[in-house]
Chains A and B, each alone.
Chain A
Amino acid sequence: MSAQSYPKTWRRPPQIVKDRRWRIALQLGILLYLVLAVGSVEVDWERVSIGLERGQRFIMGFLQPDFTSRWNDIARGLVESLTMTLTSTVIGVLISVPIGIGAASNLAPKWIYYICRSIIAVSRALQEIIIAIFLVAMFGFGPFAGFLTLSFATIGFLAKLLADDIEEIDETQAEAIRSTGASWWQLVNYAVQPQVMPRLIGLSLYRLDINFRESAVIGIVGAGGIGATLNTAIDRYEYDSAGAILLIIIGIVMIAEYGSSYLRKFLQ
């Protein structure tokens, strides 16, 4: 029996762009873009060298965070952020459940489907910070505008994932319920709800986590929360307080992430 023959040469894996000339042109184009892009970056080295000293002070502040001297402001910002996070997630979930059901093509009539999908699209396309700018202009400074921003952003995220999830349910179970002569409400309650509930709870917890992160940012445009405190601290070059705030944010985000992943595992 002769030994099996293996190919002696290595064959090149398939390329995305087939034509060699196009490939070279594409690579040259990318190179040209990079040169232009790097060229457009203006660096004021004098400013940077002054800044480096500040950077050093910031790192020192990060290593020796000052929790005490601004503690009252930090605590207030933190309370605002945390309350904003919880209330906006709860309200956001409550609103996004009907919208999510309406945006599932297997449950809703066509016109409701389009309305709900467009609500989702609008909510997803606009960034939190831009929504926050508008809501602060309308509702005034403070956590209430932040609460509305986060609720609005939650709708886009949760309703979309919920709708996609409802569209992917096991149709045979829905048909079984339908064949008993169930009404639409009974169908949702007995065929859809048990299938999507664990995922809905998981997504809500995940969104809680995201909302806290965002609540640390929207304060920069005046929507309350720890971001406002951080912004003030950096503006006043109080890097030790800023370091303390950042450490608190990192800590809470870590707790939220591990906590929510633990809870999700427990619930599912």
Chain B
Amino acid sequence: MTEITHYSQTWTHRTPRKRLFLWAGWVALVALFLWCWQIMTESTIWAFVWDAPRQAADIGSRMLPPRLSYVPELLVPMWDTLNIATLGTIAGVIMAVPVAFLAARNTTPSARILRPIALFIIVASRSINSLIWALLLVAIIGPGILAGIVAIALRSIGFVGKLLYEAIEETDARQIEAVQATGASGPQVLNYGIVPQIMPAFWGISVFRWDINIRESTILGLVGAGGIGLKLQASLNVLAWPQVTVILLLILGTVVVSEWVSAKVRRAII
């Protein structure tokens, strides 16, 4: 019997080789960070950066006190913002439902052609921010609420479509089979086997997206797509900081309220 010698006396989590790789990985990350930092700050004017605390104090002193007499002027833009979010969500959901059914593996009519197209629509819609959609749409159909609604709708397709198609894929196949066993046609299977199963998810997703859309529609005005953002942009342009404070407070209030409503509704549904 050979004698067993050289074992490490202390227990270690990783082998020396693994530790080496780990350290190499960290060093590489630090090097990458430093390199990126170098490139990013090449054109930075440091005098502005050192000056920033003074600037911040300056802006802060200008922002207070908020000009509360400005509130009545904000009510119509706020109403527009709510409409952009709500109508945009409705339109987005209506467009997202067929896309979700085409993208789900168990309901798509053709996994070869239609499913990749549907998945591409979902990815494209998700990777472009609503502000960029709004920028495009303002250039195409002109400034106003309509551009905002369409931007919100196009942005919502990806989000709703993705979550909904995942919900469709998670449906219980036995229930669908039971409906099929009765000799139901395709639409009947959809109506009685699948739709009841995804209904709670559908409403939950829609309300969740509505909540996000309220948040996003408040800033669409920055590029001209209507709503309270227009007032924000106008106030920023003339450096009316007390008005900016009022608008930000109003946006914050709206976001909090919409979050509360959405949480309440979702708890009631699910």
- Interface 0/1 of A118-131, CB less than 8 Å to B: 00000001110110
Given contacts A54-B139, A216-B129, contact A37 B124 (CB under 8 A): no
A-B pair count, CB < 8 Å, reads: 138
Does A227 count as interface, using CB distance less than 8 angstroms? yes
Quick one: which of B96-143 are within 8 Å of A by CB?
Answer: 123-124, 126-129, 131-132, 135-136, 139-142
Number of contacting residues on A, CB 8 A? 60
Tell me the complex Cα distance, A126–B255, Å: 10
Q: Please, which residues of chain A bring their CB within 8 A of the CB of B32?
A: 86
Stretch in A98-106, A138-146, A165-173 with 4+ CB within 8 Å of B: A138-146
* A214/B135 in contact, CB under 8 A: no
* A139/B131 in contact, CB under 8 A: no
Q: Please, which residues of chain A bring their CB within 8 A of the CB of B56?
A: 138
Shortest distance between the CB of A153 and any CB in chain B (Å)? 13
Given contacts A16-B268, A246-B128, A254-B123, contact A234 B33 (CB under 8 A): no
Given contacts A216-B129, A230-B135, contact A137 B40 (CB under 8 A): no
Does A83 count as interface, using CB distance less than 8 angstroms? yes
Q: Please, which residues of chain B bring their CB within 8 A of the CB of A55?
A: 140-141
Given contacts A48-B142, A142-B44, contact A220 B131 (CB under 8 A): yes
* B39/A83 in contact, CB under 8 A: yes
Q: Please, which residues of chain B bring their CB within 8 A of the CB of A133?
A: 236
Residue of A nearest to B248 (CB): A130
Q: Please, which residues of chain A bring their CB within 8 A of the CB of B29?
A: 90
Does B15 count as interface, using CB distance less than 8 angstroms? no
Q: Please, which residues of chain A bring their CB within 8 A of the CB of B83?
A: 37, 40-41
Residue of A nearest to B141 (CB): A51
Does B74 count as interface, using CB distance less than 8 angstroms? no
Say which residue of A129, A139, A220, A221 sits within 8 Å of B48 (CB atoms).
Answer: A139
Say which residue of A79, A137, A142, A254 sits within 8 Å of B55 (CB atoms).
Answer: A137
Shortest distance between the CB of A149 and any CB in chain B (Å)? 13
Does B2 count as interface, using CB distance less than 8 angstroms? no
Tell me the complex Cα distance, A228–B87, Å: 29
Tell me the complex Cα distance, A52–B146, Å: 14
Q: Please, which residues of chain A bring their CB within 8 A of the CB of B135?
A: 220, 230-231, 234
Residue of A nearest to B37 (CB): A87
Q: Please, which residues of chain A bring their CB within 8 A of the CB of B37?
A: 83, 87
Does A63 count as interface, using CB distance less than 8 angstroms? no
Shortest distance between the CB of B243 and any CB in chain A (Å)? 14
* A144/B40 in contact, CB under 8 A: yes
Q: Please, which residues of chain A bring their CB within 8 A of the CB of B45?
A: 140, 142
Tell me the complex Cα distance, A130–B248, Å: 9
Given contacts A16-B268, A137-B55, A213-B127, contact A142 B43 (CB under 8 A): yes
* A42/B144 in contact, CB under 8 A: yes
Query: Could you name 16 residue pairs across A and B whose Cβ atoms are closer than 8 Å?
Result: A16-B268, A40-B79, A41-B145, A44-B144, A86-B33, A87-B37, A90-B29, A90-B33, A134-B59, A137-B55, A137-B59, A139-B52, A217-B132, A221-B222, A230-B132, A253-B126
What 10 A-B pairs come out closest when comparing CB atoms? A253-B127, A140-B48, A47-B142, A83-B36, A83-B40, A51-B141, A37-B83, A55-B140, A138-B55, A144-B44
Chain B residues close to A by CB (< 8 Å): 29, 32-33, 36-37, 39-41, 43-45, 48-49, 52, 55-56, 59, 79-80, 82-83, 86-87, 123-124, 126-129, 131-132, 135-136, 139-142, 144-146, 149, 215, 218-219, 222-223, 236, 248, 251-252, 255-256, 268-269
